[in-house]
Amino acid sequence: MVKTNKGDFTADAAIVTLPLGVLKSGTVKFSPALSEEKQAAIARLDMGVLNKVVLKFPKVFWPENREVFGYVSENQQDFTDFFSMTPYTEAPILIAFTGGSFARSLENLSSEEIVEKAMAVLRRAYGNGIPEPVGVARTRWNADPFSFGSYSYIPVGATTGDRKVLAEPAGSNLFFAGEATSAKYPSTVHGAFLSGIRESDRIKNNF
Ligand SMILES: Cc1cc2nc3c(=O)[nH]c(=O)nc-3n(C[C@H](O)[C@H](O)[C@H](O)COP(=O)(O)OP(=O)(O)OC[C@H]3O[C@@H](n4cnc5c(N)ncnc54)[C@H](O)[C@@H]3O)c2cc1C
């Protein structure tokens, strides 16, 4: 039985595809509790953060024939990767990718503060004459209560074996899928997709 704020659902079997970050947060309770081995694997694995900052400009000021460009900063906590969306949208849009502790720190800043940090890098690269953005959108994957991070990784002290433990069924009717359970293709869409097939096959063969 799955109890939710939209009612209770019962079935012969269930597949849990909650992100690792949600499993780690404890916001979803299991009864009976998950095995100590599974809880330990959940505790050892961790969620990394990859956040995007989308900037829309009045015009393109970067080389139009470049889709990706990097900035090697003296400062580790800085914007380093920009992707031009112009080839796909025909609009003057850059997306900055940010990772790790820098990405986490940006989540506490206002959009104005983030724009100022990104513009400081772009001005260093393209000069003070570049235009200000006319629109900004940003992700906050670490704070998102439905993910608590972007995708899983193996920190010091964890192993691929922890992903295999996470993928094991709990009892005879509770199954686990999602990118963090994929030993072969973790942190990817195809890893998540294939893990769903893996678990539906397991149910098909067990019932
Ligand atoms: C910025 C970024 C860039 C990425 N780039 C790539 C890429 O280029 N290529 C690639 O292959 N992968 C990429 N990934 C990774 C990929 O998106 C994930 O690995 C994949 O989406 C994981 O799928 P999943 O089904 O395991 O989890 P999710 O897609 O996170 O699905 C989990 C679902 O559970 C729901 N949920 C969570 N909590 C609850 C709750 N309490 N109650 C009910 N529902 C809940 C969520 O809303 C969500 O719908 C990227 C991820 C990010 C964040």
Q: What is the rounded average pLDDT for all residues in the chain? A: 96
% residues pLDDT > 70 (the chain): 100
Q: Which of 2, 188, 194, 198 to mutate to test the pocket of ligand 1 (most atoms within 8 A of CB)?
A: 188
* CATH number, domain 2-46+155-206, options 3.40.190.10, 3.50.50.60, 3.40.50.300, 3.30.70.260: 3.50.50.60
Q: Which long-range contacts link 122-128 to residues 24+ away (Cβ below 8 Å)?
A: 122/82, 122/94, 124/71, 125/69, 125/71, 126/61, 126/62
Ligand 1 centroid from CA 201, angstroms: 22
User: CATH number of 50-138: 3.40.50.300, 3.40.640.10, 3.90.660.10, 3.40.50.280?
Assistant: 3.90.660.10
User: Does residue 26 register a pLDDT over 80?
Assistant: yes
> Model confidence over 129-177: pLDDT tens digits?
999 999 999 999 999 999 999 999 999 999 999 999 999 999 999 999 9
User: How do residues 85-105 score in pLDDT, each as one tens digit?
Assistant: 999 999 999 999 999 999 999
- The pTM (predicted TM-score) of the whole model is 0.94
What local confidence, expressed as pLDDT, does residue 184 receive? 97
Q: For residue 181, which atom of ligand 1 is closest to its CA? A: 26
In short, whether 50's Cβ falls inside 6 Å of ligand 1 is yes
Q: List own/partner pairs for 121-126 with CB under 8 A and 24 or more apart.
A: 121/71, 121/73, 121/78, 121/79, 121/80, 122/82, 122/94, 124/71, 125/69, 125/71, 126/61, 126/62
Of the candidate ranges 39-43, 68-72, 132-136, the one whose mean pLDDT is the lowest: 68-72
Assess whether the previous peptide bond of 32 is cis (omega < 30° from 0). yes
Extents of the domains making up the chain: 2-46+155-206, 50-138
At residue 140, the pLDDT reads 97
Query: What CA dihedral angle connects 37, 39, 40 and 45, to 10 degrees?
Result: 120
